[in-house]
Amino acid sequence: MKVLFVCIGNICRSPIAEGVLQHMSDKKNLGWEVQSAAVRNYHIGKPPHTSSQKVCAEHGVDISNQKAMLFKKEHLEQYDRIYAMATDVIEEIKDIAGKDFDEEKVHLFLDYKYPGENQSVVDPYYGDDDGYLPVYQQINEVCELIVERYSK
């Protein structure tokens, strides 16, 4: 399975999700390909935020080699599942995709834990390092649900 996580700048939430899900896939030998992207070009080509790298490293997940990339309409064809980390991100994906938007393929990430509640993963970018641990924990929990659902 090919999975893409998408957030605003691709340096906080989506790289953590990419790293966590890829780590889980590798541990279970699922063979999934996991990546992440941004809907805005603020940080393209740059590594994840240092706090994202730090919280992942503290949990045995290395995201230091990731580089932010821009979400493109073509990604709708290239990935089996696309997860928006926030409601504003899913709206931007819809704008980018236009008539090619696929509700069967693109989902709000937290819908796996809170179906139909339209909840967003909090963006820790504007806070301090302490805000990254709860984001990591929430992402880890939802990634476990995704693995449980699609590894059968």
Summarised one tens digit per residue, pLDDT across range 83-124 is 999 999 999 999 999 999 999 999 999 999 999 999 999 999
User: Is 11:43 a contact under the CB 8 Å cutoff?
Assistant: yes
Q: To which residue do tokens 């509640």 refer?
A: 117
- Give the structural domain span for 145: 2-150
Q: What is the pTM of this model?
A: 0.97
Looking at the structure of the chain, the number of domains it has is 1
- Rounded distance between C-alpha atoms, residue 5 and residue 55, angstroms: 18
Instruction: Select which of 12, 13, 56, 143 is catalytic.
Output: 13
Cross-strand partners of 82: 4, 106
Is 95 labeled as catalytic in the residue annotation? no
- Rounded distance between C-alpha atoms, residue 117 and residue 109, angstroms: 11
Q: Is 40 helix (H, G, I), strand (E, B) or coil?
A: coil
Is 123 labeled as catalytic in the residue annotation? yes
Q: What is the mean pLDDT of the chain?
A: 97
CATH of the domain at 53: 3.40.50.2300
Instruction: Select which of 12, 56, 81, 123 is catalytic.
Output: 123
Dmax over Cα atoms in the chain, in whole Å? 42
Instruction: Select which of 7, 12, 56, 143 is catalytic.
Output: 7
Is 12 labeled as catalytic in the residue annotation? no
pLDDT in the model for residue 28: 97
